Amino acid sequence: MAKCEITLKFQDDSIVVRDARIIKKMELVNRAITSELPNWETEDTIFTLDSELPFLKGFGVFMISNILKYRPPPADDFTTRAEEYPEANALDLDQLKPIIELANYTESEDFMNSIGFVIAKKLDNLEVDQIAAFFGVDCRDDEDIFDENDGWTHPKAEMFKRLNRDQAVEQEE
């Protein structure tokens, strides 16, 4: 097997990746290396990515440590739980946000979708105004739900409030 040492520069430090399988999961990095060294997978390769990844090293370490074992659940599988991604599930939403952004930036699709799944499961327990705050958008309470200016529908937050069983029965009556 060919020697592989790929240095990824982050905002605060660098990481050397020695596993070609990890590099191949990061499509952006894979393309950058292949454009300069087309045979990098079969020849000994020591390479430093010219561009700095605009993220902190800690997020890169997390991604590199988990990228090979994280697979997103199939679209038709409703039994997968966030606990099946224990490292990601242990983090809060503010910690997961830059990790999914890094995965998106490096075009690590399976890893990005896995982190997205964990984020979705965490958001599932929040109220709509908390979800809006996470995404950095306004949660409007106005009557007109269709905005002619932007073409988007902006339903009232109360439409998404979770009802307990008694409230749901009362609302149906």
Give pLDDT tens digits for 98-109.
999 999 999 999
Contact 127, 133 (CB under 8 A): no
Question: Could you state, in order of their start, the residue ranges of all structural domains in the chain?
Answer: 4-123, 135-172
DSSP state of 145: -
Q: How far is 47 from 53, CA to CA, in rounded Å? A: 15
Cβ–Cβ < 8 Å for 63, 28: no
Q: Binning pLDDT at 50, 70 and 90, where does residue 138 land?
A: confident
DSSP state of 54: S
Mean pLDDT of 56-65: 98
Q: What is the pLDDT of residue 130?
A: 87
**How far is residue 151 from each of residues 110, 147, 148, measured CA to CA in Å?**
32, 6, 5
- The CATH homologous superfamily for domain 4-123 is Potassium Channel Kv1.1; Chain A (3.30.710.10)
d(CA 117, CA 82): 7
Over residues 2-37, the pLDDT tens digits come to 899 999 999 999 999 999 999 999 999 999 999 999
